[in-house]
Structure 1
Amino acid sequence: MTTPVTPETGPPEAPADRYRAPALDRGLDILEVLADQARGLTRAEIVKALGLGPSQIYRMLERLVARGYVTRDEGGDRYALTMKLFLLSTRHPPLRRLVAQAQPLMDGFAREIRQSCHLVVPEGGMGIVVAQASPQGHWEFRARIGGLLDLFATSSGLTLLAFQNPERAAGTLGQWGVPAAEARLAEVADHLRAIRAQGARIEPSAHLGGVTDISVPVLGHGDEAVAALTCAFIEHPGEAGEEGRARAAAALKAVAARI
């Protein structure tokens, strides 16, 4: 049913605009712009980045400082994020339980196979690295905890997509925040079927030469992936490449099954 437009009501609001809270929006905008700046920003730089007037952000900045989300250089005018948002995110019970269960198993994989691995979950239309384990040697390749990954362009992301129920995959991705999910899934449908048939994705890295991405799903209820466990496999001198990759894939599947 179409909502009529009258001079009294005006056009209907979009769902995203129906419950606007401008002050809250400004506070979130400040946090998001500071998240991309390792050294922080001055108040003037924040004003310029957000296209707002100084009076619109002054009180909000002071409240964020008072609540501990933002810090201000003593005696200066440069603002930066504190660790409070990170600490809040790690207190989220489901994620905390997942990482607590996975970390010792991932550490064992890294020691035994002499390869690093990382755990990725879907968040905000992307994949986010929530745990990482490194081998005990003097060198390593690893993913950064908190790093964001394109679901359609990384091994972890494609593995997460492959192990969703095809009948409701588009709806699931919509809940994850992926726009135009149905059309984007159709573009990679053949590749996702091949990953699912193999039970893993084992392919040369599209981002690093000499690296083989090995990704396996961590399955939840309904045999759908709630996370992906990935090893960026680097061949060691004196090892048979195919045999080493097969051993790593088998060990990674065993870890994912235990998680």
Structure 2
Amino acid sequence: MTTSRKKVEENTRDVMESTKLTPKAQNAGYSAPALEKGLDILEVLCKSSEGLTQKEIASLLGRSTSELYRMVNCLERRKYISHEGDKYSITTKLFQLSRIHPPTDRLVTAALPIMQELSHSVGFACDLRVYNNGSQTVIASMNTPSGIGFNVRSGAEIAIAPSASGRVLVAFQPAETTEIRIRESFAGLPASEIKAFRKDLHEVAVKGFASIKSRQYEGVHAISFPILDMDRHAIAALTVPMVPRLDTTPAPSKNDVEERLRESAEKLNRLIR
């Protein structure tokens, strides 16, 4: 038995003991067997970094595979777990649910004045994006001061793979979360694209932000900085899509926008911690 498997078994025993119902609670009608099975599955998968087969899950929980079959299928359908081959792993859905209101409301409330100031200072639109089960969702946006230019609306869903913000939301995570997000975001995409993305993640982590030419729109250059929690993991990405002007109107350089975006991200980081 591997060390990691032993650790999972030890953690599972602890979880089972700590969540076991007392006879009084059972007699009072508080027992919900189906719910308990689902929670047991989530808890044991949270303790495994390598994923587990249905047989392994059943063995660790002291149940039969037939007992857990419908629970596993339900959890996968609701996107709490996913499988690759015959192994099941936890997804980031629980993590995402933990960050829904009021933390998101607080983040947006703190961000909007900073985003308005940033947009006016650089002359470009900006937006705030969060990771969402294999893609990213824009939770706040600020249009260009003139009202003309490249703008991403609130509520828009954006792919992780081609975007600067996608790199930021994946790079600044614990190793396990990074792997889960790559698996969720690149399902069905070629291995070469995943390899290139991993290489980009290293560069983003070293630089502290992402600054790339758009892989979707001609002439757009996207710059994105992480908004970090207390553990310095990215909970959001503050992004400016730059579009160069062809007329003589003065416009900040890429370096200028990077610096002003850095200052705005740092200001927001200080406010939400």
State the TM-score, normalized to the length of structure 2: 0.58
1:98 equivalent in structure 2: 107
Query: Does the residue aligned with 2:161 lie in a helix, a strand or coil?
Result: coil
Change in Cα spacing, 1:110 to 1:190, as seen in structure 2 (3 Å) is: same
Partner of 1:160, secondary structure, is helix
Listed as ranges, the gaps of 5+ residues in structure 2 are 1-54, 60-64, 79-99, 269-273
Partners of 1:225 and 1:10 in 2: how far apart?
39
Please, which of 253, 258, 261 is the counterpart of residue 249 of structure 1?
258
Instruction: Name the Cα RMSD after superposition.
Output: 3.4
The answer (yes or no) to whether the contact 2:172–2:205 under 8 Å persists in 1 is yes
Identical pairs, percent:
24
Contact 1:163 1:223 in 2 (8 A): yes
C-alpha contact 1:219 1:227 (8 A) present in aligned 2 = yes
Alignment of 1:1-259 (within 5 A): 12-17=68-73, 92-165=101-174, 167-170=175-178, 173=181, 188-236=197-245, 237-238=247-248, 244-259=253-268
1:195/1:240 CA distance change after superposition, 3 Å: farther
Deviation of 1:115 (Å): 0.6
- The amino acid that maps onto 1:107 is Q
Unaligned 5+ runs, structure 1: 29-90
Structure 1, residues 72-112: CA drift from partner, whole Å, max 9, x if none? xxxxxxxxxxxxxxxxxxx8211100100001100011111
Q: Deviations over 1:128-187 (max 9, x none)?
A: 00000122214121102111111222211111112123x33346638x96576xx88655
- Structure 1 segments of 4+ aligned residues over 2 angstroms from their partners: 1-4, 9-12, 14-20, 167-174, 176-180, 183-188, 236-241
Offset at residue 188 of structure 1 (A): 2.2
Q: For residue 181 of structure 2, what is the amino acid of its counterpart?
A: L
Given residue 177 of structure 2, which amino acid in structure 1 is its aligned partner? A
TM-score between both structures, scaled by the size of structure 1: 0.60
How many pairs were matched up? 184
Shift in alpha-carbon separation, 1:94–1:12, aligned structure 2, 3 A: closer
Counterpart AA for 2:211: I
User: What are the superposed Cα offsets for residues 3-43 of structure 1, whole Å, 9 maximum, x if unpaired?
Assistant: 59xxxx957514343589xxxx9xx9xxxxxxxxxxxxxxx
Change (3 A) 1:188 1:18: closer
For residue 153 of structure 2, give the secondary structure of its aligned residue in structure 1: coil
2:69 is paired with a residue whose SS is coil
3-state DSSP class of the match of 2:106? helix
Equivalent position amino acid for 1:168 in 2: E
